[in-house]
Structure 1
Amino acid sequence: MVNMNNFNRDMFNIARSARGFSQADLAKRADVTQALISKLENGLTTDPTQETVFLIAKALNFPIDFFYSNERPLGLPPFHYRKRQKVGKRVLSKIESDINLRRIHLSRLFKSYEVDTHKDIPVIDLEKMQWRPSDAAQSLRGHWMVPRGPIENMTALLENAGAVVIKIDFDTRHLEALSFRFPGIPPLIFINSKLDSGLYRFVLAHELGHLVIHNQPETDECMEVEADEFAAEFLTPEKEIRPYLRRPSLGSLAKIKSHWKVSIKALIVRCQRLKLITPSQYTGLNVNYSKAGYARGEPFPIPPEEPCTLGNAIQFHMKELGYSIEDMARLLILNDDDFQEMYTVRPLLRIIK
């Protein structure tokens, strides 16, 4: 039973940010004053009337119970925001709210659903081991017994190791992914659903690098360079990729892309960092890349990958435990239409009423 005496201003903040409303927007939609909205968010008004909460809940399209739940949002580590300086405050607030909503949902789903995995995502201390990020990538491939050659499905590999990959429309091209270890649930990787499939795989490997080698915050620039090195070695191990890159051209790199499932752009950078080409050759490949129009879309697209774990958890509740759409909405503190839009409309799963 929800205690209707304890209004949760943190959940109120999540709801407003998730809808992308300003305080003035919400005040107008709910037919209340902006002063009231501001005081509620800042804890100056702690006991709004049920009529006020009803108006706010209706305007935000969240159930009233949402604003009285005992859930608490978690702050997101700022050092995991890629290119965050280019992302507007409102967009960033919405992303943070969306991530907190899904974290709350996963915490509730995983009380009944267990992820079946025989692997783990370890934490590797580079300084203690005296390793480079590429050494950590090689070690993890060995630990997971990844076969030689290209990784067939990066998403499945991560989810089989216990991570949960969640696609979200970040509503910005300046943010590619975020990854976290939250208490009580598996590691989470939130990835921009608008990414090209070639970049998608590299970004997943990049975020895996953050989870494995960045247990403590460092400078953004250092962490990004290290995660890129980890990702490149994890997807294209140096000893295996070198023979493919001896005489790189756009044509040969396109064929290599099809085999290794790594973008032509990433392969050009790999050639340069492995010192397989001169600076002038590197410049020439990039010029030809631009002239060919590949920046707008590369040839030989890599087949898209779809996460499964979250969808499987939803399916388990509905098929095995007999939850209806209404039950699921109540479990996740959503309205029915929000639950269906978030978890049944997209390819995540299909539900037959």
Structure 2
Amino acid sequence: MNSRHRSPVQVGDVAHLFDGRRLRLARQLAGLRKNALADKVDKTPTAIASYEKNTKRPAPTTVAQLSLALGVDPSFFLPGPVELDFSDVVAHFRSLRSTTQLARDQALAYGLATVEVSATLERHVEFPSAEVPNFEVRSDEDSPEEAANLLRSTWELPTGPIPHLVRAAENRGVLVVFSAPASASVDAYSFEGMSRPVVVLNPAKRDYYRQRFDLAHELGHLVMHTDAEPGSAKIESQADRFAAEFLMPREQISYLLPAKADWGQLQRLKEVWGVSLQALLYRSRALGEMSEVTYRNAMMFLSSKGWRRQEPGVMPVLEQPSLLPGSVALLESSGVDPWELAEESRVPLDLFRQICSRSPRYMPEDDSNAAQENLPSGVVSIFSNRN
């Protein structure tokens, strides 16, 4: 029987089985603080907190109000495929000072919803085992570079450029998804999920080269910083060094890097290695192939040409994830409706489709600018972006 014709879950049953952690998930996905949600359902913030901590269960009428206020089906509040533990998840956001707590909470909730969707799909499709080694960073001297080479070795990557970094990560069990349009204020981020590592990419700048470096940066966090306090300049620098070595290993690229700003040669290297001109210049200086003066002059030239914002040449299409979307397509070909999978995951269908999309969904340019300029928090309800 098609799930669209199943008997709906009774609100009274949801009240008895209510999981407060899923209320917190829905609230953060919607970009609401406790007091804002309390106002919507005519309750106190203390009551909302008690529901989320499972110290008090809401009445059936309150469940219905919460469902309506948050734009989710009452069944969303039933225990899901993954036991959520917010206290055990440490996400690495690029800059904690420039990103509000509300925006980070919303972004992390999106990542946790991704874990739930993945856990549901893994009931029906076999996923690759997660293969991300843990490398303790003892000191800044060579440690990030050693970690990058360890990951290349563990993943048995070939010598030279990595042709499709997203696919390489997915083949080793890393969940890679695009963020929701509402999270445009949050850069790429990562965390160790309850079942497997997760990287959420922000495609707002639509930059193939930036996306690859972002993914390599986040892989650095997953390898080196599982227990580190996120957001510090030190660990962000370590992740950048990891990304540079991972994408452009010293032994494989140093002899190719020009000592002077040979733009033709740099452009050719950019196309082959899948990194930006700026990354190549920085790498050339870091490896001692280019002097500090030459590097600074080259960067000044980049700025004068407007290339720091948009480099010359054709921009390749963003690398696309295939693990989740491919699984959905496989199941759909076997007669399983995505609606059924979304229901099993306990997430709204539009959110399920966003998480399992091969291509990013862009907020219209004007709306994106308005969201960033008029809302200091940068938060818009993820559920508002319905197709």
Do the structures match in fold with TM over 0.5? yes
TM-score by length of 2: 0.78
The match for 1:96 among 85, 108, 112 is 108
Quick check: 1:187 aligned with 2:197? Answer: yes
Change (3 A) 1:112 1:137: same
- % identical equivalent positions: 26
Q: Provide the aligned length of Structure 1 versus Structure 2.
A: 341
User: RMSD in angstroms over aligned alpha carbons?
Assistant: 2.9
Of the structure 1 ranges 256-265 and 297-306, higher mean CA displacement relative to structure 2 is found in 297-306
1:14-93 paired onto structure 2 within 5 Å: 14-23=25-34, 25-26=36-37, 30=40, 32-35=41-44, 38-43=46-51, 46-69=56-79, 71-75=83-87, 77-78=89-90, 80-93=92-105
Instruction: Tell me if 1:257 matches 2:265.
Output: no
* Corresponding residue to 2:345 among 325, 328, 332: 332
Residues 143/40 of structure 1: CA separation in 2 closer, same or farther (3 Å cut): closer
With normalisation by structure 1, the TM-score equals: 0.85
Q: Which residue of 1 aligns with 2:311?
A: 298
Q: What do residues 318-339 of structure 1 show as CA deviations (whole Å, max 9, x unaligned)? A: 333x322331221011344444
Matches within 5 A, 1:151-230: 151-169=162-180, 171=182, 175-183=186-194, 185-195=195-205, 196-217=207-228, 220-230=232-242
Instruction: For residue 16 of structure 2, give the secondary structure of its aligned residue in structure 1.
Output: coil
1:314 to 325, 328, 351: 328
Q: Is the 8 A contact 1:179 1:188 kept in 2?
A: yes
Out of 120, 130, 133, the position equivalent to 1:108 is 120
After superposition, residues 123-138 of structure 1 pair within 5 angstroms as 123-127=134-138, 132-138=143-149
Equivalent pair of 1:261/1:302 in contact (CA under 8 Å): no
Q: Which has the higher contact order (CA 8 A, sep 6+)?
A: 2
Distance of aligned partners of 1:235 and 1:198 in 2 relative to their CA distance in 1, 3 Å threshold? same
Deviates more, 1:54-63 or 1:2-11: 2-11
Distance in 2 of aligned mates of 1:207 and 1:341: 21
Query: For the residues of structure 1 that align with 2:354 and 2:144, how far apart are their CA atoms?
Result: 39
Which residue matches 1:240? 252
Structure 2 vs 1, CA of residues 337 and 139 (structure 1 numbering), >3 Å: closer, same or farther?
closer
1:1-20 mapped onto 2 (5 Å cutoff): 4-20=15-31
Consecutive unaligned residues of structure 2, counting only runs of 5 or more, are 1-8, 362-387
Find the aligned partners of 1:167 and 1:182 in 2 and give their Cα distance: 16
CA deviation vs aligned residue, 1:144-179 (integer Å, no higher than 9, x gap): 332222111111111112212111137566643222
1:192–1:339 Cα change, 3 Å: same
Alpha-carbon distance between aligned partners in 1 of 2:227 and 2:32, rounded to the nearest angstrom: 34
Q: What SS does the corresponding residue of 2:200 show, helix, strand or coil?
A: strand
Give 1:126 shift.
4.5
Tell me which moved more, 288-297 or 216-225: 216-225
Instruction: Give 2:6's aligned residue.
Output: none
The AA in structure 2 aligned to 1:213 is M
Checking the alignment, whether the CA contact within 8 Å between 1:82 and 1:174 is kept in structure 2 is no
Aligned to 2:336, the other structure's residue is in SS state coil
Distance 1:50 1:145 in 2: 54
Between 6-15 and 166-175, the greater mean CA deviation after superposition: 166-175
Distance 1:17 1:182, change over 3 A: closer
Alpha-carbon displacement from aligned partner over 1:105-148 (angstroms, at most 9, x marks no partner):
2222223321146x8322233449x9622123223323433222
- Distance in 2, matches of 1:4 and 1:42, equals 14
Match of 1:351 in 2: none
Give SS of 2:163's match. Answer: coil
Show structure 1 runs of 5+ residues with no match: 349-353
3-state SS, counterpart of residue 85 of structure 1 = coil
